[in-house]
Amino acid sequence: MSDKKKKIKPNTIGRALALQALYQQELNPQDSLENDWRELYDCCCEETQASLTDEELGVAIKYARRLFEGTTTRLREIDDLLNKALDKRTLKQTTVVDRNILRVAAYEMRFVKTPKAIVISEAIELGKKFGESSSQAFINGVLDQIDGVPLDNSTFAVVETSSPEDKGMV
């Protein structure tokens, strides 16, 4: 493997950071919700061979927090949505990594309104890096299904708008 780190967009790293924070919270729920985002980034860099400038890192952490906080705030609705999209199993029967990739992606697709193709592509990449060999196909199939699943309560359909700095940082 080369010593040169790949140039990856800040929102891509933000998604990986949000995944790691959700994973960490699920395995250690007694830990503080104040994640050390820089520590998560350093770990993420080892996994992805990514390298961001300080400015890009700020954007990545901001996006990670947005995804993490939005996902945890809407966890019940997201889990209900994902359970409806699953065919033969429940969300609790999936691996912790796959479950949290699906959660972040579902939140981003339904509430941030990132285009479906981008969300699915990014989630598949997270599955390749952090999941099992079957993760990519599983993630793709579930996320493809959630687009048509209605939310039960219209109060959950509030769309969070992207900030100007989020534009173009996919």
Domain ranges for the chain, please list them.
10-166
The tens digit of pLDDT for each residue in 19-35 reads 999 998 888 776 655 55
Instruction: Tell me the CB-side half-sphere exposure of residue 21, using CA atoms within 13 A.
Output: 28
25 touches 72 (CB < 8 A): yes
Please enumerate in sequence order all residues whose Cβ is within 8 A of that of 15, keeping only pairs 6 or more positions apart, or say none. 63, 64, 67, 104, 108, 122, 123, 126
The tens digit of pLDDT for each residue in 80-133 reads 999 999 878 889 999 999 999 999 999 999 999 899 999 999 999 999 999 999
101 touches 138 (CB < 8 A): no
Q: How does residue 67 score in pLDDT terms, banded at 50, 70 and 90? A: very high
Question: Using N-to-C axis directions, what is the helix angle for 10-27 and 96-107, rounded to 10°?
Answer: 130
pLDDT of residue 1 exceeding 50, the answer is: no
**pLDDT at res. 31:** 62
81 touches 106 (CB < 8 A): yes
**pLDDT at res. 27:** 85
**pLDDT at res. 94:** 93
The reported pTM is: 0.80
Q: Does domain 10-166 have CATH number 2.40.10.220?
A: no
Please provide the distance, in angstroms rounded to a whole number, between the alpha carbons at the two ends of the chain.
Answer: 26
Q: How does residue 167 score in pLDDT terms, banded at 50, 70 and 90? A: very low
Q: How does residue 47 score in pLDDT terms, banded at 50, 70 and 90? A: low
Q: What is the DSSP string of 10-67?
A: HHHHHHHHHHHHHHHHHH-TTS-S---HHHHHHHHHHHH-B---HHHHHHHHHHHHHH
